[in-house]
């Protein structure tokens, strides 16, 4: 089968490798039909997180068709059309039962890798996989794009809103204008936020943020951003801040713009060695977040919202590529010419 691997800094390539096989009783082999590139994949591509040449891709978002199942799998069968979340929760441990399957306590190998390929071995598939009603051919390409966001970015954006306790009437600031930040805007609107402030410096992303529900946009950074947001909130600060980047500047800004008693919902993977928590302490700012509870949100809220046409997160995919064009798919995002690259496998 074809699978993407890291060639060198700033370069991806395809290689032929053996099709994955069932190795454990709760494995599921999936034929990938659509995958994509995540902003986090660029850390390896840019050599921020160094990986050796030839390392398997860090892709972790896919939708596809079940090919084969292990002996313990009863929830899906060959031929089923499924979302393959980047998390692999068990659905039974205390963390999963509390709605935090992104931090499953039963599965150590809880995250996907290698999804930019023709086939994947999905570990712990009994509960984690999400069945899509019907067949692949029942859906438009636009719907397929929205289904694919449910493998990560839409669920991650929703996680930020959930852990920040966004509720009706709230003023919410979303840090980040990538796919996760844009989906966090959708989530904030779903949960009833009245004022949603986006933070984009790019016209196309700001326009999509507005379409998704942002009421205002702040394009400046650092101290200027803090002042602008505080002015926009009457000097009080936001009821909730959704941090969807993970950089030092984004995190510092998020900590500074919430009102006393607010929560920062943090889903941008931290690239900060240490964080000064003194100021949040005196202002009673709570910080919550981590890997999204993808399966929980898909099954309880998000898949139904997509099927009913209530949300259309697939619009974060602004360019399509074939698997053979995987290097161009990465480059387009690296150069910020593409919000999120959509990869058609079959």
Residue-wise pLDDT for 296-326, tens only, equals: 999 999 999 999 999 999 999 999 999 999 9
pLDDT at 109: 82
Answer yes or no: do 6 and 148 share one domain.
yes
pLDDT at 288: 95
Answer yes or no: do 303 and 281 share one domain.
no
Answer yes or no: do 158 and 148 share one domain.
no
| CATH code, 22 | 3.90.180.10
Mean pLDDT for the stretch of residues 137-151? 98
Answer yes or no: do 104 and 191 share one domain.
no
What's the mean pLDDT when you consider all of the chain?
96
Q: Which of 254, 273, 288 is the last residue of a domain?
A: 288
Q: What is residue 182's three-state secondary structure?
A: helix
Q: At what angle do helices 248-256 and 222-232 cross, to 10 degrees?
A: 30
pTM across the whole model: 0.96
Domain that holds residue 88: 2-152+293-344
Answer yes or no: do 148 and 158 share one domain.
no
Which residues neighbour 56 within 8 Å (Cβ) at sequence distance 6 or greater?
A: 3, 5, 113, 114
Contact 107, 125 (CB under 8 A): no
Q: What is the pLDDT of residues 36-73, one digit of tens each?
A: 999 999 999 998 888 899 999 999 999 999 999 999 99
Mean pLDDT for the stretch of residues 207-222? 97
Q: How far apart, in whole angstroms, are the C-alpha atoms of residue 158 and residue 336?
A: 24
Q: How far apart, in whole angstroms, are the C-alpha atoms of residue 30 and residue 44?
A: 25
Q: What are phi and psi of 272, to 5 degrees?
A: -120, 125
pLDDT at 273 over 80: no
Answer yes or no: do 272 and 306 share one domain.
no
Number of domains comprising the chain: 2
Q: What is residue 141's three-state secondary structure?
A: helix
């Amino acid at each position: 089968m074809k699978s993407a691997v890291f060639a060198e800094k700033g370069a991806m390539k395809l290689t032929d490798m053996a099709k994955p096989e069932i190795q454990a009783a709760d494995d599921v082999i999936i034929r990938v039909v659509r995958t994509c590139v995540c902003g986090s994949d660029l850390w390896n591509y840019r050599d921020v997180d160094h990986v050796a040449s030839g390392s398997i891709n860090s892709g972790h978002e896919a939708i596809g068709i079940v090919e084969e199942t292990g002996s313990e799998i009863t929830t899906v069968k060959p031929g089923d059309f499924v979302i393959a979340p980047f998390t692999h929760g068990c659905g039974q441990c205390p963390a999963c039962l509390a709605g935090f399957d992104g931090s499953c306590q039963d599965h150590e190998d809880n995250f996907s890798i290698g999804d930019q390929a023709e086939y994947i071995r999905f570990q712990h598939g009994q509960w984690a996989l999400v069945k899509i009603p019907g067949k692949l051919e029942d859906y438009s390409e636009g719907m397929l794009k929205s289904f694919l966001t449910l493998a990560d970015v839409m669920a991650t954006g929703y996680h930020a809103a959930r852990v920040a306790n966004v509720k009706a009437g709230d003023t919410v600031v979303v840090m980040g204008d990538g796919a996760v930040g844009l989906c966090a805007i959708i989530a904030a609107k779903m949960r009833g936020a009245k004022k949603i402030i986006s933070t984009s410096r790019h016209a196309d992303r700001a326009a999509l943020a507005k379409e998704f529900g942002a009421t205002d946009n702040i394009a400046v950074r650092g101290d200027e951003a803090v002042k602008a947001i505080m002015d926009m909130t009457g000097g009080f600060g936001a009821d909730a801040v959704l941090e969807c980047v993970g950089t030092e500047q984004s995190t510092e800004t998020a900590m500074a713009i919430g009102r006393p008693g607010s929560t920062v919902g943090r889903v941008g993977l931290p690239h900060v060695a240490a964080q000064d928590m003194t100021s949040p302490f005196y202002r009673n700012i709570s910080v919550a977040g981590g890997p999204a509870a993808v399966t929980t949100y898909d099954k309880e809220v998000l898949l139904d919202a997509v099927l009913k046409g209530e949300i259309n997160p697939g619009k974060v995919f602004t360019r399509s590529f074939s698997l053979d064009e995987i290097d161009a798919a990465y480059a387009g995002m690296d150069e910020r010419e593409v919000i999120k690259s959509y990869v058609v496998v079959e």
